[in-house]
């Protein structure tokens, strides 16, 4: 699947943008997915699906499972912790948690600023901070991530598998997961109802 043709060598990397699955997406696991791209280079890419809920698990459940809090303390969690959604970030390392969050929170040597508005932290320290009410203003927890080897994402985009669009934090962190796909397309003037699998190259 990988063609190794790079990103064109012109610095056209897509970190901090959204990938929206097109009808031509060959991999059913990513049908109607919206992915926030955290890293993209000639070596490959990594992103988090932001519109797929993790089934039967809440943020407070995970805090208890990871011994961040005791079960009887869940009732004392701040409202900001209760608002953190748990998502299926992708098929790679599904037992690992990745927190996408607003840039008002930073841990030295742990937090990766992706753009001026969104960062990624993958240590338990951010979960402890959120449980204390000292975490970021906006956050989501993804279980697993989506990854591409060198040239693979570029090849999928050339095959009309993905459309890249500017990221909007209000869309990334919005709790209305079911409408994110349609809203992402409308942000660039595409009517989802008129999208077809024979969409031509733009």
pLDDT for 194: 79
pLDDT tens readout for residues 89-148? 999 999 999 999 999 999 999 999 999 999 999 999 999 999 999 999 999 999 999 999
CA 154 to chain centre: 18
Q: Answer yes or no: is pLDDT of 197 > 80.
A: no
User: What's the pLDDT band for 196 if we cut at 50, 70, 90?
Assistant: low
Residue 62 CA, chain-centre distance (Å), reads: 18
Please state, in angstroms and rounded to a whole number, the distance separating the CA atoms of residues 136 and 119.
10
Question: Which of 120, 163, 186 shows the shortest CA–CA distance to 18?
Answer: 163
Domain span(s) for CATH 3.30.70.1300 in the chain: 59-145
pLDDT at 9: 37
User: Which tokens is 45 given?
Assistant: 């890419």
* CA-to-CA dists, residue 100 to 27, 85, 139, 188, angstroms: 24, 11, 6, 23
Q: Which residues pair with 100 in a beta bridge?
A: 120, 140
CA separation for the pair 129, 136 (Å, rounded): 8
> What CATH fold (topology level) applies to the domain 17-51+147-191?
VC0467-like (3.40.1740)
Using the predicted structure, report yes or no on whether residue 201 has a pLDDT greater than 80: no
d(CA 53, CA 22): 20
Write down the architecture of domain 59-145 according to CATH: 2-Layer Sandwich (3.30)
By C-alpha distance, which of 87, 84, 89, 88 is closest to 101?
A: 84
Expressed in angstroms, the distance from the first to the final Cα of the chain is 22
Q: What is the 3-state secondary structure (H, E, C) of the chain?
A: CCCCCCCCCCCCCCCCEEEEECCCCCCHHHCCCEEEEEEEECCEEEEEECCCECCCCCHHHHHHHCCCCCHHHHHHCCHHHHCCEEEECCCEEEEEEEEEEECCCCCCCCEEECCCCEEEECCHHHHHHHHHCCCCCCEEEEEEEEEEECCHHHHHHHCCCEEEEECCHHHHCCCCHHHHHHHHHHHCCCCHHHCCCCCCCC
Whether 147 contacts 92, CB under 8 Å: yes
Residue 7, pLDDT score = 37
148-157 pLDDT, tens digit per residue, is 999 999 999 9
Q: In percent, how much of the chain has pLDDT > 90?
A: 79
């Amino acid at each position: 699947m990988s063609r190794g043709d790079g990103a064109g060598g012109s610095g056209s990397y897509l970190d901090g943008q959204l990938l929206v699955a097109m009808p031509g997406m060959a991999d059913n696991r990513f049908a109607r997915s919206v992915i926030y791209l955290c890293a993209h280079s000639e070596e490959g890419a990594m992103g988090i699906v932001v519109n797929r809920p993790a089934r039967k698990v809440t943020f407070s459940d995970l805090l208890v499972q990871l011994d961040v809090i005791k079960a009887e303390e869940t009732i004392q969690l701040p409202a900001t912790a209760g608002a953190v959604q748990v998502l299926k970030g992708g098929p790679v390392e599904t037992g690992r948690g990745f927190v996408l969050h607003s840039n008002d929170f930073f841990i030295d040597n742990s937090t990766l600023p992706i753009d001026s508005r969104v960062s990624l932290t993958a240590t338990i320290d951010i979960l402890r901070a959120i449980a204390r009410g000292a975490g970021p203003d906006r956050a989501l927890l993804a279980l697993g991530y989506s990854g591409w080897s060198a040239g693979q994402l570029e090849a999928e985009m050339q095959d009309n598998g993905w459309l890249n669009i500017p990221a909007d934090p209000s869309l990334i962190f919005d709790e209305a997961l079911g409408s994110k796909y349609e809203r992402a397309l409308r942000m660039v003037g595409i009517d989802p109802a008129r999208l077809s699998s024979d969409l031509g190259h733009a």
